Amino acid sequence: MKLLTYDPGTGPRCGVLQDDAVVDVTALLGEPRTIRDVGALLNLNDSAIDRVGDALAGGVAAPKVALADVRLRSPILQPPTVRDCIAYEEHATSQGTREIDPVWYRMPVFYFSNPLVIYGPDEEVPYPSASDQLDYELEIGCVIGRAGSNVPESEALQYVAGFCIFNDWSARDLQFDEMTFGLGPAKGKDSASSLGPWVVTADELAPHIHDGRLDLKCHVRVNGDDWLRDGDSFASYYSWGEIIERAAKDSRIAPGDIIGSGTVGGGSVRESIRKGYETSRWLEPGDTVELEVENIGTLRNSLGAKVGVDPDYRYRPHNPTATPERGTARDYRYRRTR
């Protein structure tokens, strides 16, 4: 199933996609209160997704509206947490151009992103006023469906409700300036994340999960131009079980939590430039970014103008990242070794 959050003009509601129509989940389940988003559905109980599937299969009558006639929102309007991993070696090593600390090979490294600035499909994302090097990051977003702590790898996929596309918008000049101190990314990841277009349930994607990894092709287009073709989600160094085990160790995961895979190899501006895509460059206001993942869908956002630009802003970055030479990784081919 494809679970989504839509707005028919009266506020957000949880829905399920059936052909080209959205079926209202509140009515489908006979719930007395409006289920506002996919996160609220998951918080009903551990069997909420099964209930939706059973109701659809049983022909329960519920209002439908054409997908083209509704506004899609982020499937999870405000996740409890957003953890973002960096599970792709091609991205971590900048396509083999830098050596990374051995700790990356010992454990799935992640940071916490901002759950207060979540954007959905076709929403305009503000361009951060203090940055001149805005980047997209094509990631798979894992949506947690059950609460748990100290979840072992062998049981981790039982806690997954499904997967969506995750765009980890990144102000690279802010990020690289701040990270010279030694902490992970913070302000450079603070302005926006995008999720969507819906959550494809884990059972629907099960035929594409091998060795705990999704095996899907990924693409990026900016203003209609290819900036990545046939990115490989299966090349993740770590499996989803390993990622979830580490996230839940001595901690807690909850329904609606988002865990990002990290950037699929080639799925950022600098990697696109190195691969030789002719029009790739740092993003600019007015750009339209489309992230497409096979068997999930397409997440599209446009970038708005900078608002509140202050040339005297005292925390402007002093250490922006260098723009790579185009085509230097044109012949680079990543091969996962574990």
Kindly tell me if the per-residue pLDDT of 226 is higher than 90.
yes
Query: Does the structure show a pLDDT above 90 at 319?
Result: no
Boundary (domain end) residue, out of 73, 99, 130: 73
Q: In this predicted model, what pLDDT tens digit does every residue of 9-48 receive, in sequence order? A: 999 999 999 999 999 999 999 999 999 999 999 999 999 9
Do 90 and 10 sit in the same domain of this protein?
no
**214 & 245 share domain:** yes
Residue-number span of the structural domain to which 51 is assigned: 2-73
Task: Note whether residue 165 is domain-resident.
Answer: yes
The share of the chain scoring above pLDDT 90, in percent, equals 97
| 149/255 same-domain check | yes
- 28 and 127 in one domain? no
What is the model's pLDDT at position 83? 98
- 173 lies in some domain: yes
pLDDT one-digit tens code per residue, 119-144: 999 999 999 999 999 999 999 999 99
Q: Are residues 54 and 114 in the same domain?
A: no
User: What CATH number corresponds to the domain at position 107?
Assistant: 3.90.850.10
Question: Hey, CA dihedral for 258, 269, 237, 203, is it positive or negative?
Answer: positive
Q: Specify if 167 maps to a domain.
A: yes
Domain shared by 21 and 111, yes or no: no
Co-location of 132 and 68 in the same domain: no
Phi, psi angle pair for 145, to nearest 5°: -115, -15
Model confidence pLDDT, tens digit, residues 246-298: 999 999 999 999 999 999 999 999 999 999 999 999 999 999 999 999 999 99
Do 151 and 18 share a structural domain?
no
- Residue 315 falls inside a structural domain: no
Residue 42 and residue 148 share a domain: no
The residue out of 73, 90, 114 marking a domain boundary is 73
As a whole number, the mean pLDDT across the chain is 97
Residue 184 has pLDDT above 90, yes or no: no
Yes or no: say if 241 and 212 are a contact pair by the CB < 8 Å rule: yes
> Are residues 167 and 222 both part of a single domain?
yes
Which residues does 161 contact at the CB level (< 8 Å), separation at least 6?
3, 38, 42, 49, 143, 144, 145, 146, 199, 201, 202, 255
Distance from CA of residue 216 to its chain's centroid? 14
- In the listed set 38, 73, 108, which residue is the last one of a domain according to the structure? 73
Our count of domains for the chain comes to 2
- Looking at the fold, whether 68 and 96 belong to one and the same domain comes out as no
Q: For residue 287, give Cα distances in angstroms to 72, 90, 221, 302.
A: 20, 26, 10, 6
List, for residues 46-80, the tens digit of each pLDDT value. Answer: 999 999 999 999 999 999 999 999 999 999 999 99
* Residue 324 included in any domain: no
Same domain? For 27 and 150 the reply is no
> Over the Cα atoms of the chain, what is R_g?
20
Q: How confident is the model at residue 207 (pLDDT cuts 50, 70, 90)?
A: very high
